[in-house]
Amino acid sequence: MQVIQEDKIFTRIHTLKFPNKLSKETFRENLIKRVDEFFKENLFLTQFVDIDDITLFFINLWESEQHSNKVNSRNKDLFKQMMEIGIKISINWRKISL
């Protein structure tokens, strides 16, 4: 059993605003497939929250900030593609206690 140290839990909340509902649904399906691989890299939890027809929250809970940054840096191309097709991205993060 893996022991989680409180001071290392890290969360990222991505707010994604899409040009339209179809682009949101299409991108969400592709993102789900990609995120499944992150569990092998110390992602503990991920949650998609529909805010409205064009807004999606994508919430991740990681073992540590370092694990999150490692995966995030490898996926810079994804964020670039998202911005190129008109998706507005806001990312908030912090260490949290459970």
What is the arithmetic mean of pLDDT over 59-81? 92
pTM beyond 0.85: the answer is no
In the chain the domains, ranked by start, together with CATH numbers, are: 6-95 (3.30.70.100)
Q: How far apart are CA 89 and CA 83, in angstroms?
A: 7
Handedness of CA 39, 84, 91, 24 (dihedral sign): negative
Report the share of the chain in percent with pLDDT over 70: 92
Expressed in angstroms, the distance from the first to the final Cα of the chain is 17
Check whether 47 has a pLDDT greater than 90.
yes
Position 79 scores a pLDDT of 87
- Per residue in 4-35, pLDDT (tens digit) is 555 579 999 999 999 999 999 999 998 888 89
Q: Give the other-Cβ count within 10 Å of 89's Cβ.
A: 12
